[in-house]
Structures are given as structure tokens and as C-alpha cells.
Amino acid sequence: MRKIVAVGPETAVRAHVERYDRFDDASVVGVAGVSETFADDVGLSRYESAARALADTSVDGVDVCGPGAAHGDALRSALGAGVPVRCDPPLALDDHEFDHLVSLASEGDGWLTAHSPHRHSRLYDRLRSAVDAGTIGSIGVARIKRTAPFDGAGWNSSYAGVSAAADPVDVLCSVLAHDVDVLTWTFGSVERVFARARTSNQYDYAHAMLTFRDGGQATVEATWNSKNASEPRVAVEYSGNHGRLDFDESDAATALRNGDGPQRVDPPEDDCRGRLLRTFLDQLEGEERSPSAVDPTAPSRTATAMRRSVVDGRPVTLPGGSR
């Protein structure tokens, strides 16, 4: 039985606790970053911080329920204690913090994994398999675009609250890091990035152009509107010299159907985030090879470059061979 401490905002922690409860080999032994009322509601011990939890109880892994860049104290505490930790990308949005976390993971007994749940989406897996099979040939341009209202149902439901509590540009770069993770997983590491962002009362917007080391480019874009978007929308397109692959939110709904039958929604333990947490547990248990230090650094390194590009207003070239 692997003992987990979950850290992060209450909505995200609740979603993760629900999934861990469905696994026979996992037990959440505490939560941090939440209110006492919330901890009582989910029936778990509440700690002021990940460091306090690690000092007070035996823990096999720390699950940061959100981008590592927003929970640097938890990452540093876990790695400093030699405890494996999982977070969403990016693990940092500052080059100094990024290098410090990589050093902690490399020099200690713990390790850090920072994959996006998008990697465990069946749709993205189908796209990647098709790319590997040569369906589009050599990549030309990949595009991922997301649009949603500030408040509303769906994948962005907490965006307004998160952006109000943190630097909106940091939030935008953290959102794009998920798409960067999928793109590096599919097409390899990024050599150069040029990003820009804008925030206002009407909308928040970020756009980045990526150049891959092995050839081809990608654009990732996210917009939150105060009024104009009635529901979350996503559009993905991979184009090459032999063809094109694409999907949007309609295709995502269709993919959940069983033939012509009714819509079949994956249970929490087997949706993309559930499969992400299952992979983390398997790594803790040694059923899958654990990362040697940090797995992966590519999307987080690209996210730090995106953030620097926004600030400097110029393209940023990543270190050679950065992964």
C-alpha cells in the first residue's frame, strides 16, 4: 500500500483523492493547501504544508495536484526529503528554479515526474500512433487552440479563480505547457520558442510558436473570454507532407461512444487523469521504471522559455539537447 500526500487547490485535490480511493494499492494519508472544512469533508488529516506532512507521517509519494510552478515549496520539500513527487507541467517558470529542482532530484533519493494527463488521453494517443505510423509524413505544422469563458463548466472551470490568485501570464504559460508536453511527446524536443500573452478584463490570451529540433513547427494558443465563448472549445491539427490529422470537441465526444450506442464515459480511475495517477503509483511500486531524476524536463524547460519570451518580447533558443 503506497501512502500519498496530496497538495493543491481543493477542487483538484478532491478529484485526485477520488481516484486514489478507487485503487487497491494506494492510500491518501493527508492533504495540504486546503481548509480544515475540506479535510473533514474528505475524511483526511490536514497539514499546513507538504513539509509538515513529511515530518509528521510516513509517505511514499507526494502528489501536487496542479502545475509544479505554483507549488515550488512542495516540490522542494519532497525532493529534499528524498520522496518521489508528481506534478502537472510546468515544474517551474523560472530558469533558476528549474535548475534548482533538477539538481535536487538528480542529487537526492527522490525523483520528479511532470507529465500532462493529456498524454494519457486516448485521442492524443491515437494521433501520436498515427504520426508514428507515417500517416502525415514529415511534420509541417501542428496546431492546438483552446477557447473558453472565464467561468463555466468544463476543463477551465477554475481558471478565473486561479488567475486572480496568481500572475495571469504564469497561469497562461502553465496551461500551454500541457499542450507543449503532448507535442514534445509526439514530435520531439523544441529548439526555439516565441510567445506572447495579453490579459485584460475582456479576455486573457497566450500564443506560442515552437520550432522542433527534428524539423517542423507548432503553434499553441489559449483564450479565455469574459462574454464571447459560450462553452469550452478545442481544435487540434497535425499537418505534414503526406496528409493531415485533426479533432475538435465534437470528435472528443464521439470518441467516447461505443459504436453507435450511447455515450460511454470512462470511470474516474480510467480517465486520462486516473491513468496518469495509476502510472505514478506503478512507478512508486517499481512495476514501471521510475525516472532517473526528472521525467520529463522538455515541456517545463520550454515553458520557462515561453515565459521569458513573453517578458523579453523576442524568440528564445533552448539549450542544445535539452530534454
Same domain as 214, residue 167: yes
Please tell me the predicted confidence (pLDDT) of residue 266. 75
Same domain as 176, residue 87: no
**Range among 5-19, 217-231, 237-251 with highest mean pLDDT value:** 5-19
Supply the range of the domain harboring residue 207: 122-261+299-317
3-state DSSP assignment of residue 300: helix
* Contact (Cβ atoms closer than 8 angstroms) between residue 61 and residue 86: yes
Task: Count CB neighbours of 135 within 10 A.
Answer: 15
Q: Is residue 89 part of a domain?
A: yes
Same domain as 249, residue 113: no
Same domain as 283, residue 304: no
Q: Is residue 110 part of a domain?
A: yes
Please, what is the average pLDDT of the chain? 87
Q: Is residue 53 part of a domain?
A: yes
Please tell me the predicted confidence (pLDDT) of residue 89. 93
Mean pLDDT (whole number) for 134-153: 84
Please tell me the predicted confidence (pLDDT) of residue 234. 86
Look up residue 307 and give its three cell numbers.
515565459
Same domain as 128, residue 111: no
Query: pLDDT tens digit string along 270-288?
Result: 899 999 999 999 999 876 6
Mean pLDDT (whole number) for 257-276: 71
**Does residue 255 register a pLDDT over 60?**
no
Read off the amino acid at residue 230. S
> What are the distances in angstroms from CA 112 to CA 36, 140, 221, 223?
28, 32, 27, 30
Same domain as 309, residue 283: no
Q: Is residue 139 part of a domain?
A: yes
Q: Is residue 172 part of a domain?
A: yes
Q: Is residue 197 part of a domain?
A: yes
**Does residue 1 register a pLDDT over 50?**
yes
Query: pLDDT tens digit string along 67-104?
Result: 999 999 999 999 999 999 999 999 999 999 999 999 99
User: Which CATH number is 248's domain given?
Assistant: 3.30.360.10
Mean pLDDT (whole number) for 172-179: 91
pLDDT band at 323 (very low <50, low <70, confident <90, very high): very low
Q: Which range among 151-165, 192-206, 258-272 shows the weakest confidence by mean pLDDT?
A: 151-165
Please tell me the predicted confidence (pLDDT) of residue 243. 94
Distance CA 60, CA 65 (A): 16
Residues composing the chain: 323
Same domain as 42, residue 165: no
User: Which CATH number is 26's domain given?
Assistant: 3.40.50.720
Cell numbers 504564469 correspond to what residue? 170
Query: pLDDT tens digit string along 52-65?
Result: 999 999 999 999 99
Read off the amino acid at residue 92. A
Cut 0.85: pTM above it: yes
Same domain as 250, residue 228: yes
The tally of domains found in the chain comes to 2
Please tell me the predicted confidence (pLDDT) of residue 115. 92
Q: Is residue 266 part of a domain?
A: no
Q: Is residue 267 part of a domain?
A: no
Same domain as 98, residue 65: yes
Distance CA 212, CA 87 (A): 24
**Does residue 157 register a pLDDT over 60?**
no
Higher local confidence (pLDDT), 241 or 255: 241
Same domain as 56, residue 12: yes
Q: Give me the DSSP letters along 155-217.
A: TTTTHHHHHHHS-HHHHHHHHHHHHHHHHHHHH--EEEEEEEEEE-SSEEEEEEEEEETTS-E
Cell numbers 515541456 correspond to what residue? 299
pLDDT band at 148 (very low <50, low <70, confident <90, very high): confident
pLDDT band at 233 (very low <50, low <70, confident <90, very high): confident
Same domain as 150, residue 79: no
**Does residue 154 register a pLDDT over 80?**
no
Same domain as 236, residue 126: yes
Query: What percentage of residues in the chain have a pLDDT greater than 90?
Result: 67
